[in-house]
A = this chain, B = another copy of it.
Protein backbone atom coordinates (compact mmCIF):
# COMPACT_ATOMS: atom_id res chain seq x y z
CA UNK A 1 0.00 0.00 0.00
CA UNK A 2 0.97 3.63 0.39
CA UNK A 3 1.76 3.70 -3.32
CA UNK A 4 0.57 7.19 -4.12
CA UNK A 5 -1.26 9.54 -1.83
CA UNK A 6 -2.83 12.63 -3.31
CA UNK A 7 -2.54 16.02 -1.66
CA UNK A 8 -6.16 15.67 -0.69
CA UNK A 9 -5.50 12.41 1.16
CA UNK A 10 -2.61 13.98 3.00
CA UNK A 11 -4.57 17.14 3.85
CA UNK A 12 -7.64 15.40 5.17
CA UNK A 13 -5.65 12.77 7.04
CA UNK A 14 -3.49 15.46 8.60
CA UNK A 15 -6.62 17.29 9.72
CA UNK A 16 -8.01 14.10 11.21
CA UNK A 17 -5.85 14.38 14.30
CA UNK A 18 -6.67 16.77 17.17
CA UNK A 19 -3.02 17.47 18.00
CA UNK A 20 -2.43 18.60 14.45
CA UNK A 21 -5.56 20.76 14.33
CA UNK A 22 -4.43 22.49 17.52
CA UNK A 23 -1.06 23.17 15.92
CA UNK A 24 -2.79 24.71 12.92
CA UNK A 25 -4.95 26.91 15.13
CA UNK A 26 -1.83 28.10 16.92
CA UNK A 27 -0.10 28.82 13.63
CA UNK A 28 -3.10 30.78 12.37
CA UNK A 29 -2.07 33.35 15.00
CA UNK A 30 1.43 33.52 13.53
CA UNK A 31 4.65 31.53 13.03
CA UNK A 32 6.29 29.65 15.89
CA UNK A 33 9.33 27.52 16.60
CA UNK A 34 9.18 23.79 17.30
CA UNK A 35 9.70 24.26 21.03
CA UNK A 36 7.11 27.01 21.24
CA UNK A 37 4.61 24.76 19.53
CA UNK A 38 5.56 21.71 21.57
CA UNK A 39 5.37 23.51 24.93
CA UNK A 40 1.60 23.11 25.32
CA UNK A 41 1.55 19.45 24.28
CA UNK A 42 2.37 16.77 26.82
CA UNK A 43 4.27 14.62 24.37
CA UNK A 44 7.88 13.61 23.70
CA UNK A 45 9.50 15.91 21.18
CA UNK A 46 10.11 13.27 18.49
CA UNK A 47 6.43 12.28 18.62
CA UNK A 48 5.44 15.91 18.32
CA UNK A 49 7.84 16.48 15.44
CA UNK A 50 6.22 13.68 13.49
CA UNK A 51 2.96 15.64 13.60
CA UNK A 52 4.72 18.73 12.24
CA UNK A 53 6.23 16.58 9.53
CA UNK A 54 2.80 15.34 8.47
CA UNK A 55 1.41 18.84 8.36
CA UNK A 56 4.31 19.91 6.18
CA UNK A 57 3.95 16.90 3.86
CA UNK A 58 0.30 17.79 3.47
CA UNK A 59 1.30 21.28 2.41
CA UNK A 60 -0.61 22.82 5.31
CA UNK A 61 2.45 24.41 6.90
CA UNK A 62 5.91 25.48 5.82
CA UNK A 63 9.11 25.51 7.87
CA UNK A 64 12.45 27.20 7.72
CA UNK A 65 15.51 26.50 9.83
CA UNK A 66 17.67 29.43 10.94
CA UNK A 67 20.59 28.41 13.10
CA UNK A 68 19.32 25.72 15.42
CA UNK A 69 15.74 26.93 15.41
CA UNK A 70 13.11 25.74 12.96
CA UNK A 71 10.16 28.06 12.52
CA UNK A 72 6.81 26.83 11.27
CA UNK A 73 4.12 28.92 9.61
CA UNK A 74 0.73 28.26 8.12
CA UNK A 75 1.17 27.70 4.38
CA UNK A 76 -0.36 30.30 2.09
CA UNK A 77 -3.62 28.88 0.72
CA UNK A 78 -3.17 26.00 3.13
CA UNK A 79 -6.75 24.85 2.81
CA UNK A 80 -7.19 25.38 -0.92
CA UNK A 81 -7.32 21.65 -1.78
CA UNK A 82 -9.86 21.05 0.97
CA UNK A 83 -11.94 24.08 0.01
CA UNK A 84 -11.89 23.06 -3.63
CA UNK A 85 -13.05 19.55 -2.89
CA UNK A 86 -15.86 20.80 -0.67
CA UNK A 87 -16.97 23.28 -3.34
CA UNK A 88 -17.03 20.55 -5.95
CA UNK A 89 -19.10 18.43 -3.60
CA UNK A 90 -21.59 21.24 -3.09
CA UNK A 91 -21.75 21.86 -6.83
CA UNK A 92 -22.79 18.24 -7.42
CA UNK A 93 -25.23 18.39 -4.54
CA UNK A 94 -26.91 21.43 -6.01
CA UNK A 95 -27.22 19.71 -9.37
CA UNK A 96 -29.11 16.96 -7.55
CA UNK A 97 -32.44 18.78 -7.76
CA UNK A 98 -32.22 18.72 -11.53
CA UNK A 99 -31.68 14.99 -11.37
CA UNK A 100 -34.73 14.67 -9.14
CA UNK A 101 -36.79 16.39 -11.83
CA UNK A 102 -35.36 13.94 -14.31
CA UNK A 103 -36.30 11.03 -12.09
CA UNK A 104 -39.86 12.27 -11.75
CA UNK A 105 -40.00 12.58 -15.55
CA UNK A 106 -38.89 8.93 -15.82
CA UNK A 107 -41.62 7.85 -13.43
CA UNK A 108 -44.21 9.69 -15.51
CA UNK A 109 -42.95 8.03 -18.68
CA UNK A 110 -43.18 4.57 -17.06
CA UNK A 111 -46.76 5.33 -16.17
CA UNK A 112 -47.87 5.89 -19.77
CA UNK A 113 -49.19 2.30 -20.19
| A residues in contact (CB < 8 Å) with B | 6, 8-9, 11-13, 15-18, 21, 24-25, 28-30, 74, 79, 82-83, 85-86, 88-89, 92-93, 95-96, 99-100, 103
Question: DSSP class of A's interface residues: helix, strand, loop or mixed?
Answer: helix
- Residues of B contacting A95 with CB < 8 Å? 29
A92-B9 in contact (CB<8A): no
Cα-based distance from A49 to B57 in the complex (angstroms) = 30
Cross-interface CB contact of A86 among B6, B16, B82, B100, cutoff 8 Å:
B82
| Contact A18 B6, beta carbon cutoff 8 Å | yes
B30–A99 touching, CB < 8 Å: yes
Whether A30 pairs with B100 at a CB distance below 8 angstroms is yes
Chain B residues, CB < 8 A from A17: 9
Contact A28 B100 (CB under 8 A): no
A99 lies within 8 A of B29 (CB): yes
Closest 7 CB pairs of A and B: A13-B16, A12-B16, A28-B92, A12-B15, A28-B93, A12-B12, A16-B16
